[in-house]
A and B are shown apart, each in its own frame.
Chain A
Amino acid sequence: MSSKISNVTNQLSLNIHCQLDAFKLKVKQTLPLNGITGIYGRSGSGKSTLLRIIAGLSPQATGKIIFQGSQLLSSDEKCFVKAEKRQISMVFQDSRLFPHLTVLENLQFAVKRRLTNTLNIEEIIKLTELEDLIYAPTATLSGGEQQRVALARAILVEPKLLLLDEPLSALDYSSKNKLLQLLNKVSQQLKLPILYVSHSLAELQQVADKLLVLNLGQVEAYGNIHQIIHKLNHQPESQHEHVEYSMPQLANQQTSLSLPLKNINENHQLITLALGEKQEIQLPFNTHLSTLLKENTEQKKINVRCFVLATDISICLTEPVDSSIVNQLFGKIIDITVHQQQVLVTVNCQQQDFFISISSYSLDKLALRVDLSVYLQFKASAVRTHIR
């Protein structure tokens, strides 16, 4: 078992090297263990390898891993804590349910082997909405159902850290949304730290608090997810050491926001978020938001996470009038980046940067320049949300 070597109990300290054929992973990073930390990168950036090393499934890794003050790996001291002893659980991309067991038996497999006995299996079944499936053979489940069982199973072993390796990548849109809501519930209700690997910023934006960006086996950036997403948006490709680096493409750029709830317009099924003291953003009040708002008795404290794609925002030089588009913001252009025929304009509104993707034709037509005051327009439906 691991040995206590430090009083730093709420963080994961990584200083690891791993050579896998031609690929080399080299990560030196300390991650605080609270909430959900996203790990983002393109295919082959080393995301899954990093998770496998943390889990203890890649014994060829060298270096040092200290988890909650205990040493899991130390090449110098020839210390390697086996995967089954780490109290770290993992949900894989392909669920990996045991096909010879029913759903309930899969969950009981975890319960029988856990070292603590805090969580009630019935409650987790209810939390993950598996009540109607517990006696079903796992082969009969849909992709989304299988991942819910895998998540419930991983939680029931009562890990100190939960690793999620692209758990939504094989699911349809509806299943993805359902599971993302579930992950938020799990993280909040069980106070379970989660490392969430994904190649989808949209997915991570909905659940993660911090973001670690990997590129070609090395840490590219780490910090608050909204700030990191903005940093990625704004990073010209020329700054990158490797030519093949293309993260993210202009078309995928987005403005990531976490804004306080101002009011709910039930008649028009809209909610309003405050952007600074003077401006506001409106977005549709869907059933998911409604349910979560009802669950939360202190609505005033709710921050709503939302993001708007750069391609969904337009720029006007004059204040739009008589428009059906509900969101109209006033701001100042702080940056213009031209990439082939596309242009990324950064507009600051109330200390919040917005990214707008326009064509070079529009850039010339409007004669846009830095420091020019402009109006931004986007529909309420262009704002995608998730409540934290």
Chain B
Amino acid sequence: MNNTNPDLLALITTLKMAGLTTILLLIIGTPIAWLLARMKSRYKVIIEAFVALPLILPPTVLGFYLLIAFSPQHLPGQIWQQTTGQQLAFSFSAIVIGSILYSLPFVVQPLQKAFEQLGDNLTEAGAMLGAGPFDRFFNIVLPLTKASFITAASLGFAHTVGEFGVVLMIGGNIPGETRVLSIALFDHVEAFNYTKAHILAISLLIASMVLLSLIYLLNHPKNQKQNSVKRVKA
């Protein structure tokens, strides 16, 4: 591991972090989005505001509070340490948890919008045909909101790859553990190694551009076939 190119190592760490974060975000974000789409309580706005908070909150603020929470002096950090035997702060797990919180709105919001557009009509029809809740979700909701799931996963992944402030605050800069591409780029700039910084920067730029183009292509009306939510009659 020590002989591995540090930038390649940072790329692997970044992909691991972003991949795991995206999977966990879909697992956590889907029920939150479903709940928000169906919720009629006046308290809905509080949950929506909490989910959307990372959109406007400076990453260092979120990172700062997470750093305190993850330290062994505080309950979340203590529970983690007692359960796993390892410190949470400055670990790979810490940057994954931080990324989940930081990228949550990028996954929840497109899914919530898709579930709201879909409405209850088709799931009610499914129930009338004997389909239970999971059956309805996997065989009606998921196929009809597939494009939104792809969008949510792509945005969550891309946003996590570009993360800097939260990772730096709670993960530090440990090669192979918490040193991700954005931090490696910052290191190169600080060391005036602009050639390596350029390589990383342009790679991230191209990758982000390609990913976003694919999302827009997927969501273009011409490419939305009959499985689009927009074709579902109310």
Are A and B part of the same complex? yes
Q: Which residues of A are interface residues toward B (Cβ below 8 A)?
A: 55-57, 82-84, 87-90, 92, 94-100, 109-110, 113-115, 137, 139, 153-154, 157
Chain B contributes a number of interface residues (CB within 8 A of A) equal to 22
Task: Say whether B121 contacts A100, CB under 8 Å.
Answer: no
Residues of A within 8 A of B139 (CB): 109
Q: Which residues of B are interface residues toward A (Cβ below 8 A)?
A: 121-122, 124-132, 135, 139-140, 143-144, 226-227, 231-234
Task: Say whether A109 contacts B124, CB under 8 Å.
Answer: no
Evaluate whether A113 and B144 lie within 8 angstroms (CB atoms) in the complex, with A94-B121, A99-B226 already known: no
Evaluate whether A113 and B227 lie within 8 angstroms (CB atoms) in the complex, with A94-B121, A94-B234 already known: no
Complexed CA–CA distance, A110 and B140 (Å): 13
Task: Say whether B233 contacts A115, CB under 8 Å.
Answer: no
Can you give 29 contacting A-B residue pairs, CB < 8 Å? A56-B127, A57-B128, A83-B124, A83-B127, A84-B126, A84-B130, A84-B131, A89-B128, A96-B121, A96-B233, A97-B125, A98-B122, A98-B126, A98-B144, A99-B144, A99-B226, A100-B143, A100-B144, A100-B227, A109-B139, A110-B129, A110-B130, A113-B130, A113-B131, A113-B135, A137-B226, A139-B226, A154-B128, A157-B129
Partner of A89, one of B129, B132, B233: B129
CB distance from A133 to the nearest CB of B (A): 15
Q: Which residue of B lies closest to A111 (CB)?
A: B129
Complexed CA–CA distance, A88 and B129 (Å): 8
Residues of B within 8 A of A100 (CB): 143-144, 226-227
Complexed CA–CA distance, A153 and B128 (Å): 10
Task: Say whether A96 contacts B125, CB under 8 Å.
Answer: yes
Complexed CA–CA distance, A114 and B129 (Å): 8
CB distance from A128 to the nearest CB of B (A): 16
Complexed CA–CA distance, A89 and B131 (Å): 11
**7 tightest Cβ-Cβ pairs between the two chains A and B:** A113-B130, A96-B125, A83-B127, A100-B227, A90-B128, A100-B143, A84-B127
CB distance from B218 to the nearest CB of A (A): 16
CB distance from B176 to the nearest CB of A (A): 44
Q: Which residue of A lies closest to B136 (CB)?
A: A84
Task: Say whether A113 contacts B233, CB under 8 Å.
Answer: no
CB distance from B219 to the nearest CB of A (A): 17
CB distance from A324 to the nearest CB of B (A): 48
Complexed CA–CA distance, A87 and B132 (Å): 12
Interface of B (DSSP majority class): helix
Task: Say whether B129 contacts A109, CB under 8 Å.
Answer: yes
Residues of B within 8 A of A99 (CB): 144, 226-227, 231-233
Q: Which residue of A lies closest to B120 (CB)?
A: A57
Complexed CA–CA distance, A173 and B130 (Å): 32
Residues of A within 8 A of B227 (CB): 99-100
Q: Which residue of A lies closest to B128 (CB)?
A: A90
Residues of A within 8 A of B126 (CB): 84, 98, 109
Task: Say whether A57 contacts B124, CB under 8 Å.
Answer: yes
Partner of B132, one of A84, A88, A92, A153: A84
CB distance from B198 to the nearest CB of A (A): 45
Given contacts A92-B121, A98-B126, could you give 8 more A-B pairs where the C-beta distance is less than 8 Å?
A83-B124, A84-B128, A92-B124, A95-B233, A96-B125, A96-B233, A97-B125, A139-B226
CB distance from B129 to the nearest CB of A (A): 5
Evaluate whether A139 and B231 lie within 8 angstroms (CB atoms) in the complex, with A94-B121, A100-B143, A109-B139 already known: yes
Complexed CA–CA distance, A100 and B121 (Å): 14
Q: Which residue of A lies closest to B230 (CB)?
A: A99
Task: Say whether B130 contacts A114, CB under 8 Å.
Answer: yes
Task: Say whether B124 contacts A96, CB under 8 Å.
Answer: yes
CB distance from A94 to the nearest CB of B (A): 6
CB distance from A291 to the nearest CB of B (A): 31
Residues of A within 8 A of B143 (CB): 100
